[in-house]
Amino acid sequence: MTSQTNQLQVYSAGAVAPPLQKAIDVFENKFEIRCKLTVGKPSNLLAAIAVSKQGDVISCGAEYVLDEAEDRGLVVKGSRRSMGFRRSVIIVPIGNPAKITSLQDLCRENVRIGIAVDGCLKGVWDDIASKAGLTDQIRRNITHHADACGSLMGLIHQDKVDAIFGWNAFQSVWPDTCEVIELPSDLQVFRSTVVAMVSYTGDAKLSQKFIDFLTSDEVRKIYSDYGWVHKQQEI
């Protein structure tokens, strides 16, 4: 039991935390409910929940992360909701010193590429390169691996790579240090930013109220301002 009256323990992956924090500010002011936000790598967050058996709500940038959480009994099955989608792009340092303008430019000799091997971007480079038939050419230029969005962007900030495979929303999160190179629509990958109720919540009703708020039109506007895409099909 982790929730106290009018209080929620919220966990978030790093790169999806900025719009979530804004949403929390609105939620706290509107409902007078305090939210304690813990930000970190998804794998670390899940490990912390498993050990502490505490928490109310968690948000991550890819559904597969919470597939694992659900299998481990860390989130309530059926509680997941999507808050929007991020679109894959090529991210380059501000000023684009390597003059990257397309996916084909990543195949040039001596171009340094960074990829994610964990977190919400895990495997995205493979999806994109495979669609384009450029897997071998791009793989040979991959020089650095990162385990999360923050450390992936760290490669840009430390001038270790010329480009990374990232999300369009990165430019809103790190506007002063990176630029976006768009991919053709047939090569783009979308992934859901998802929220779920932690199995150990002490107040399921309050946690559900917060999840409902995060998927409201009011909060969708906040995420849209950060570059999240909202497309909903009724089936």
| Residue 166 structure tokens | 């990232």
Answer yes or no: are the C-beta atoms of 125 and 115 closer than 8 Å.
yes
Q: Are residues 103 and 78 in the same domain?
A: no
Total domains present in the chain: 2
Q: Are residues 211 and 176 in the same domain?
A: no
Q: Are residues 92 and 172 in the same domain?
A: yes
CA distance 70 to 88: 25
Q: Are residues 93 and 74 in the same domain?
A: no
pLDDT at 6: 79
108 located within any domain = yes
pLDDT tens per residue across span 86-97: 999 999 999 999
pLDDT tens per residue across span 46-104: 999 999 999 999 999 999 999 999 999 999 999 999 999 999 999 999 999 999 999 99
Q: Are residues 97 and 57 in the same domain?
A: no
CATH code for the domain of 156: 3.40.190.10
What are 82's strand-pairing partners? 194
Q: What does pLDDT average to over the chain? A: 95
230 located within any domain = no
Residue 230 confidence (pLDDT) above 60:
yes
Residue 1 confidence (pLDDT) above 50:
no
Helix, strand, coil distribution of the chain in percent, nearest 5: 40, 25, 35
Q: Are residues 91 and 139 in the same domain?
A: yes
Return all residues near 221 (Cβ < 8 A) that are at least 6 apart. none
| Residue 202 structure tokens | 């002490």
Q: Are residues 37 and 117 in the same domain?
A: no
CA distance 56 to 206: 9
